[in-house]
Structure 1
Amino acid sequence: MPLHPRIADFLADLPAPPDGPLDPQIMRAVEESQVPAPADRLPLHRVEDTVATTPVGDVPVRIYTPVETDSYGLLVYFHGGAFFLGSLDTHDHVARNLAKATGLKVISVGYRRAPEAAFPAGLDDCLAVVRWAADHGDTLGWDGTTLALAGDSSGGTFVAAVAALAHDEGFDRITHQILYYPSLDLDFDTERYPSLRDNAEGYGVETAGLKGFNSFYLDSGADPADPRVSPIKRDDLTGLPPALIVTAEYDPMRDEGELYGARLTEAGIPATVRRYAGANHGFVQNFSWIPEFAGVFEETAQFLRGDLPTRQEQ
């Protein structure tokens, strides 16, 4: 189907990007200026900011408790933003919707970003908070069952990388991995995936801009050949947690996410790939209010419960 008309209208009204190099500080300020006031956000039982004290340092986290009950499963969420954008605030609504739909206590991670923090600082923070959550299960009210990871875009990159690193380190408590339109191959060679050519222009995130948007991360020492940076380059995917991979029809990075799902399946890992028709990169963050896309959070909940129907496209 064509790009959803509401997305198309939004993109048509976007101003042309400014000339010259990207300025992280200006771009972050623009993002933060669009965050709704706390009173206008989805209400939950409790939302609290705290710090996870970990071996790699203190990491800001925001904890979302959907309802009051004796115990909870946990979901650790990594926001997107090409490794230099995004924050606890810009993705607050995603974490709130995840908590409401799943009934899990969500821990959103304020990891260190490029270019100020060199690779692998952000990745280290994400892995450390997952371990912190398991170690502080009593304090968090964890029921000892679900410990899921979720992330969108570059946050999905971190989900795949953290799941693999945890497995390599013998940390086997992660139960699920959820990747929304992940960036899994930072090579950006346009010949690698048809979607890099088919969706190259006109859909918000453009193929020609991918290298520039990720340059802050790559220039900080992240090597695209390193599976911690490009998780699709990992040779052995056995032993990883079951995965839900959500892709968007009009996303240059669509095919790498879907290939990763196929490779997980080949490795014997249960992997469900959901391609949302008419959607573009970022739709979970930007357009989940559109009825055709709002079900992504309930589908996430179904995946975590183990009763997601085996459809491949929405």
Structure 2
Amino acid sequence: MSYAIDPELATWLPLIPQVNFADPVATRARRREMAAEIPPYVAANPVAVRALSIPGPAGGPEVAIRVYTPAADGPLGALVHIHGGGFVLGDLDLAERSALRVADQVGVVVVAMDYRLAPENPFPAGLDDCYATLEWTAKNAAELGVDPARIAVGGDSAGGGLAAAVALLTRDRGGPALAYQVLNIPELDDRLDTPSMTAYTDTPMWHRPNAILSWDFYLGEGKRGTAEVSPYAAPARATDLSGLPPAFVAVCEFDPLRDEGLDYAQRLVQAGVSTELHLYPGTFHGSGLIPEAAVTVRMGRDLTDALRRALRDAPA
């Protein structure tokens, strides 16, 4: 198919390689090479970065994290940041640019974690690591200089799906209260039956064939689309979205994940959850890899503005 990609993004398409999920090990190596080619984010303000290992979930290994602390008077808001990668790719280095930018531009503490990846560690291993990181952040709020009433969870792509799952999990367990959730181009639905998921089989960076592999790796072969799948694995399956924290949801026009994000945002609103929704015309999944494009700048500004309102402008 041909797509009406934003002209500024379209000029870069020949340089953006397709990501093939069929071989996770090779794909991780290629993703690291791609990440190394992106210029690092240079903070305008001082941000201290600490690497730590924290207790993982019961029976699980420790979780490696990085804490990004801006030089600002506290207590500050905090974002537990979850990287993307289709549940299969990514690490703390992939999270670095986004985490540093939020700490710098929003002025909040950011806690990023290196959660376990599929297929070696299928659901719920990665989610358990993310939830353990939220618990640790809330428990150590005073030491981190964080206001425990202003903790958010957020992520991109699969990280956005995991963020939605963490919000559901902490609501249902009576765990740490969340002030906000950021679901940026989120991966939410294993059933793969939305119009965008059905139509977009050859879109840049992410398409239906990769989505199929992603869910099969995360859930285990043969489980995708069945009644066995938990709403904590695929938050689109949750029937009750009431009582969740306010949300920011962003989707890209030419992204197979577009419609599941739109539907989830609509259902959040219908459940009485204050929700800010953005759909960016002419964009595709991963178009943020072109940081200088005007639409990418706008996407980043919308997200940081929303976080600033939720975590800085709200009363402590």
TM-score normalised by length of structure 2: 0.87
Of the three residues 5, 9, 12, the one matched with 1:10 is 12
Q: Secondary structure at the match of 2:84?
A: coil
Separation in structure 1 between the aligned mates of residue 238 and residue 96 of structure 2, nearest angstrom: 31
Shift of 1:41: 3.8
Q: Secondary structure at the match of 2:11?
A: helix
1:30-45 aligned within 5 A? 30-36=30-36, 40-43=40-43, 44-45=46-47
1:261 maps to 265
Shift of 1:303: 2.0
1:167 maps to 171
Asked if residue 297 in structure 1 is aligned to residue 307 in structure 2, the reply is: no
Q: Secondary structure at the match of 2:92?
A: coil
**What is the one-letter code of the residue matched to 1:291?**
A
Q: Structure 1 residues 96 and 237, CA, compared in 2 at 3 Å: closer, same or farther?
A: same
**What is the one-letter code of the residue matched to 1:50?**
L
Separation in structure 2 between the aligned mates of residue 75 and residue 181 of structure 1, nearest angstrom: 17
- Give the share of equivalent positions with the same residue, in percent: 33
Asked if residue 61 in structure 1 is aligned to residue 49 in structure 2, the reply is: no
1:155 maps to 159
Asked if residue 81 in structure 1 is aligned to residue 80 in structure 2, the reply is: no
1:212-251 aligned within 5 A? 212-219=213-220, 224=225, 225-251=229-255
Q: Secondary structure at the match of 2:94?
A: coil
Separation in structure 2 between the aligned mates of residue 39 and residue 301 of structure 1, nearest angstrom: 20
1:177-216 aligned within 5 A? 177-188=181-192, 192-216=193-217
2:313 maps to none
Q: Structure 1 residues 87 and 222, CA, compared in 2 at 3 Å: closer, same or farther?
A: farther
Residues paired across the two proteins, number: 301
Q: Secondary structure at the match of 1:89?
A: helix
Separation in structure 1 between the aligned mates of residue 70 and residue 166 of structure 2, nearest angstrom: 25
Shift of 1:220: 7.0
Shift of 1:271: 1.0
Any idea what the Cα deviations from partners look like across 1:201-239, whole Å, max 9, x if unmatched?
A: 233312233202332212279755321111011111110
Greater mean alpha carbon deviation, residues 1-10 or residues 31-40? 31-40
Gap regions ≥5 residues in structure 1: 308-314
**Root mean square deviation, CA, Å:** 2.5
Greater mean alpha carbon deviation, residues 42-51 or residues 162-171? 42-51
Of the three residues 88, 106, 110, the one matched with 2:110 is 106
Separation in structure 1 between the aligned mates of residue 53 and residue 17 of structure 2, nearest angstrom: 38
Shift of 1:40: 4.5
Separation in structure 2 between the aligned mates of residue 65 and residue 272 of structure 1, nearest angstrom: 26
Q: Secondary structure at the match of 1:106?
A: strand
TM-score normalised by length of structure 1: 0.87
